[in-house]
Amino acid sequence: MQRRTAQLAKRGERAAQSVDMRTPTWRRQGREPDYRFSLANERTFLAWIRTALALLAGGVLLDQFSTRLAPRGAVLGLAIGLAGLAAVLSGIAYARWRANEIAMRLEQPLPSTLAIPLLAAAALLVCAAIGVLLIAS
């Protein structure tokens, strides 16, 4: 019986070590934040991902269904630009989520981001370009 208990204890230690190996170093720093703040941070991350998916859908829509907009190269460029912006925004969303988690763990102020002005400027440019294409067509 004692041998079996020792075997189970060793298995538990190995399992804990493998979890620690898979856990990023930054998640082991500081102290665990209140779960409500972690969940709020996760919801914000998911909102950024939804925005990126909407941008990607807009690019696909432009490419596949814009029959009246010309020249075709400009429409294709806008579609590729929207897809690229969606990819960049997805990366920024992860980096922001991670930075917020680290700040909460270390009880530091939340970092600022360039994502909001970048997204606003890109949306302005895309809207202006589509407006020009609509007027020119």
- Structure confidence by residue, pLDDT tens digits, 116-134: 998 999 999 999 999 999 9
pLDDT at 114: 86
CB under 8 Å to 136, separation ≥6 — which residues? 70
Q: How much of the chain exceeds pLDDT 70, in percent?
A: 85
Q: What's the average model confidence in pLDDT over 60-83?
A: 92
Residue 69 CB coordination number (10 Å): 16
Q: What is the pLDDT of residues 9-44, one digit of tens each?
A: 666 555 555 556 788 888 888 888 899 999 999 999
Identify the weakest region by mean pLDDT among 19-23, 81-85, 109-113, 115-119: 19-23
pLDDT at 104: 95
pTM given for the model: 0.77
21 to each of 11, 62, 78, 111, how far by Cα in Å? 15, 45, 43, 27
Residue 89 CB coordination number (10 Å): 22
Look-up: residue for tokens 């909001």? 116
Q: How much of the chain exceeds pLDDT 90, in percent?
A: 64
Distance in angstroms (rounded) separating the CA atoms of residues 113 and 107: 18
